[in-house]
Structure 1
Amino acid sequence: MASRTTPFSRFEWMIAWRYMRGIGADGGVSIVTIISLLGITLAVFALVATLAVRSGFRTEFVDTILGANAHVTVYASARTTEQGGIERGIQDYDGWAERLVRVPDVTRAAPLIRGQIMANANGRNAGAEVFGIALDDLRGIPRVAGAEAELEGDLARFDEGIAIGSGLARELGVMIGDRIKVISPEGVKTAFGTSPRVNAYEVVAIFTAGRWDIDRTRIYMPFAEAQSYFNREGLADEIEVMVRDPDKVDDMAMSLLQQAGDGALVWTWRDASGSFLRALTVEDNVMFVILSILVLIASLNIIAGLIMLVRTKSRAIGILRTMGLTEGAVLRIFFLCGVATGVTGTLLGLGLGVLFVQNIDFIFAVVNGIGQGGVWDPSIRGIYALPAELRLVDVLKSAALSLGLSFIVTLPPAWRAARMNPVEALRHE
């Protein structure tokens, strides 16, 4: 009777290693092993790199949203004026702001004036959106005037002019100190109707928020000047609220409504960008499933390699079985052959993926240079560069998927080898 052996003994590792090398006339087996190894390596690399890019894109996109826009916008519901018109402005905007900032975890509440205008300079025209805001409140916007912003000019002179986005500055061909015309169709009201209002302002600051649509269209104007320019004397269009944890804005909505008072409405950053973020989530899940299938296909090469190995080594298996090797030992030997390929390919793929993420800026610059700057269009993707964020959970998911599939696909051919009849294996020898 065959004696029992300790699982994964040293001789089992030695035999598995000899089989994997494909010595002598059986060298073709090693070629299949190399192909399987390359397939798993490239599949895991693609999975890690894709997950890192998707995580980086999502993080950068959300960061630019939260860093340059209100986390919560509070505005007044429409009401009828004494003249029969419709008014949506906030009259007691200072009182609203003072009450809103009392809500726990609210860091800032700033009255705003918003309006659409046409900007003109150097014979060029561009549509833009004006945000009327006080200087102290402007300094509290991280991506515009905070530590995260790329700012040119002197923001201390904000009350003497306007601050514009870098994309708009390029579009109009202006620099610090230049003047641009701001044209609003809703200007001076006369007996003959409303005539456009045209004012010229000095550019005192140029900011880069990191979002193409913001840098290309946004102008910040002193709050009092914006009230006068847009005929909003004594009114504010909305209150811009910043909170400590933007992920909890939905839980704060009721408290904000209660503090603002009757007739108040709220609009959170999730309401504004929720559909896009949900689309990103769906895309991330679909991408993970597709790349998981790619890893599975690469892992199936292990089956082909092991089937070839079992057929090639059938005589050796028969001899080992007649010498007393158990079925379990044979199963473990061929299991080690397949698992070694999966583990090695997984580690190499993880290494390549991490290396790719760490050097993505250089790789992106090279690819964009080859494509003459047309590979990444910020007007479509919103941000200026391809970001990547390596997360431990993504690395562990990739490793677990690859190793799990490698272990599973290894079992059928290893079990077949273990169940081989030694008499049948040696009959024709």
Structure 2
Amino acid sequence: MAQSTAPFSAFEFMIAWRYLRARRAEGGVSVMTWISLIGITLGVAALIVTLAVRAGFRGEFVDTILGSNAHVTVYSAPLEVVEGSGIYSNLMRDYAERAERIAAVEGVTRAAPLVRGQVMVTFGERSNVAEVYGIAEEDLRTIPRVANPGTSLGSLDQFAEGIALGSGLARELGVGLGDKVKLISPNGAKTAFGTSPRVNAYTVTYIFTAGRWDIDRTRIYMPFAEAQSYFNREAGADEIEVYVERPEDVAEWAGALSAAGGMGTMLWSWRDASGSFLRALDIEDNVMFVILSILVLIAAMNITSGLIMLVKNKGRDIGILRTMGLTEGSVLRVFFLCGAFTGVIGTIAGVTLGCLFAIYIDQVMSFVNWLNGGGAWDPSIRGIYELPAKLQGKDIAKAVLLSLGLSFIVTIFPARRAARMNPVEALRYE
């Protein structure tokens, strides 16, 4: 009677490794092994790269939102200017008091009143539409993506003497520091003949790059008092932008901000503005993971094909090993290890290739741009200027567990078939 041995003994590993390296006469097995190995490597690499790119894109997208926009915008519901007049306005005349109360809320890091308006900006024969943000200089300095000296031109020390332009807008207009641009607003001075457009010239004292194509191409910052005068908002503000400690959990502050803002206060958070896009990204992440998981499964199925061929070719060896005393469990583990070796090696190679691809994503994109003649990544469509990649331990772990799990599972059927082979039948025709 055959004696049982310790599971996964050294001799089982030795036999599995020798079987995996098929001789030239058994080239079919060797070819199937290489196909399985390459398939798993590419599948795991593709999965890791996709997850890294999606994580990097989402992280960069959210960072550009939080680094150049308010976490929560507080504005007022339209109220009747004079009781019975029928004229309504949402202008905040008590903006200073509101901003002070909101800033006192625990967890709020900044509350700044803003004046907003749309203008036509011209320089020479060029023109474009822009959105003007009237803001105090000390508040502008606290906006990370705008007040970044590493990506900007000029100094905010001269902000009171002019305006700040986004780099995309400055590029389209051909504007540099010290140039004067004209801002044209349709809501200008009110006369007996109606409202006439207001045209003012301002010196460009600061050019910023927020990292978002739509922001850099359309945004202008103007001193708060000047914006009040320019847009006829004397003694008032359009809204208050609020920054909180944990912007990802911005919903936690809704009740406190509404209470601090007073009657008629309305809120609009960054999640309200971009929530649908972020949810679409999450859905796309899940779909891509499922699709690439199927590719890894297809590659892993090649292990089954290779093992079935291996079991058929090694029938005589199985019969001899069984007559020498190997148990069914030992034979099962030998052929299980044959498939597991392929899965493990392919997974290690895939993780290595995927991580290298993600780390050198900039060089890869430069090569793709060179092949396409440029334009492989269009910021006007995707919002950000480059394709980022962010390797996360949990993403790598998901890819590794998926690959190894599938590789181990698909080896069970051919390994059980080998273990249940009758040694008498295996040796009958030898």
TM-score strictly above 0.5: yes
Between 1-10 and 247-256, the greater mean CA deviation after superposition: 1-10
Q: Distance in 1 between matches of 2:73 and 2:408?
A: 52
Question: How do 1:164-313 and structure 2 match up within 5 A?
Answer: 164-313=165-314
Please state how far the C-alpha of 1:67 moved relative to its aligned partner. Answer: 0.3
Q: Distance in 2 between matches of 1:267 and 1:372?
A: 42
Aligned position for 1:19: 19
Q: Distance in 2 between matches of 1:120 and 1:2?
A: 92
Aligned position for 2:418: 417
Q: Distance in 1 between matches of 2:39 and 2:159?
A: 58
Q: Does structure 2 retain, via aligned residues, the 8 Å contact 1:21–1:27?
A: no
SS of match in other structure, 1:386: coil
Question: How do 1:73-152 and structure 2 match up within 5 A?
Answer: 73-82=73-82, 83-146=85-148, 150-152=151-153
Q: Deviations over 1:65-93 (max 9, x none)?
A: 00000000001110112243220110011
AA aligned to 1:103 is V
AA aligned to 2:107 is D
Aligned position for 1:44: 44
Q: Distance in 1 between matches of 2:24 and 2:390?
A: 46
SS of match in other structure, 1:373: coil
Q: Deviations over 1:181-223 (max 9, x none)?
A: 1011111111111111111110000000000000000000000
AA aligned to 1:88 is N
Q: Deviations over 1:145-189 (max 9, x none)?
A: 146x61101211101100000000011011000111101111111
RMSD: 1.0
Q: Deviations over 1:34-63 (max 9, x none)?
A: 110000000000000000000000000000
Q: Deviations over 1:274-293 (max 9, x none)?
A: 11111111111111111111
Q: Distance in 2 between matches of 1:142 and 1:105?
A: 18
Q: Distance in 2 between matches of 1:248 and 1:285?
A: 22
SS of match in other structure, 1:145: coil
1:6 aligns with 2:6: yes
Please state how far the C-alpha of 1:302 moved relative to its aligned partner. Answer: 0.3
Please state how far the C-alpha of 1:366 moved relative to its aligned partner. Answer: 1.8
Q: Distance in 2 between matches of 1:291 and 1:86?
A: 55
AA aligned to 1:340 is F
Please state how far the C-alpha of 1:140 moved relative to its aligned partner. Answer: 0.6
AA aligned to 2:89 is E
Q: Distance in 1 between matches of 2:5 and 2:246?
A: 59
AA aligned to 1:233 is E
SS of match in other structure, 1:342: helix
AA aligned to 1:94 is A
Aligned position for 2:28: 28
Runs of 5+ unmatched residues, structure 2: none
Q: TM-score, normalised by structure 1?
A: 0.98
Q: Distance in 2 between matches of 1:76 and 1:27?
A: 77
Give the paired residue count.
Answer: 428
AA aligned to 1:101 is A
Give the fraction of aligned pairs with identical amino acids, expressed as a percent: 66
Please state how far the C-alpha of 1:257 moved relative to its aligned partner. Answer: 0.8
1:345 aligns with 2:346: yes
Please state how far the C-alpha of 1:369 moved relative to its aligned partner. Answer: 2.6
Please state how far the C-alpha of 1:424 moved relative to its aligned partner. Answer: 1.2
AA aligned to 2:100 is E
AA aligned to 1:129 is E
Runs of 5+ unmatched residues, structure 1: none
Q: Distance in 2 between matches of 1:24 and 1:183?
A: 80
Q: Deviations over 1:358-397 (max 9, x none)?
A: 1111111221232222101000000000000000000000
Q: Distance in 2 between matches of 1:122 and 1:42?
A: 54
AA aligned to 2:391 is L
Q: Distance in 2 between matches of 1:86 and 1:222?
A: 26
Please state how far the C-alpha of 1:24 moved relative to its aligned partner. Answer: 4.4
Q: Distance in 2 between matches of 1:225 and 1:368?
A: 44
SS of match in other structure, 2:256: helix
Q: Distance in 2 between matches of 1:415 and 1:41?
A: 26
Q: Distance in 2 between matches of 1:23 and 1:70?
A: 67
Q: Distance in 2 between matches of 1:294 and 1:58?
A: 24
SS of match in other structure, 2:4: coil
Q: Distance in 1 between matches of 2:123 and 2:243?
A: 33
Q: Distance in 2 between matches of 1:359 and 1:104?
A: 42
Q: Distance in 1 between matches of 2:60 and 2:47?
A: 20
Q: Distance in 2 between matches of 1:120 and 1:29?
A: 71
Q: Distance in 1 between matches of 2:169 and 2:233?
A: 25
Q: Distance in 1 between matches of 2:378 and 2:46?
A: 23
Q: Does structure 2 retain, via aligned residues, the 8 Å contact 1:186–1:196?
A: yes
Q: Distance in 2 between matches of 1:369 and 1:218?
A: 32
SS of match in other structure, 1:109: strand
SS of match in other structure, 1:204: strand
Please state how far the C-alpha of 1:23 moved relative to its aligned partner. Answer: 2.0
AA aligned to 2:423 is P
Q: Does structure 2 retain, via aligned residues, the 8 Å contact 1:48–1:394?
A: yes
Between 16-25 and 326-335, the greater mean CA deviation after superposition: 16-25
SS of match in other structure, 2:390: coil
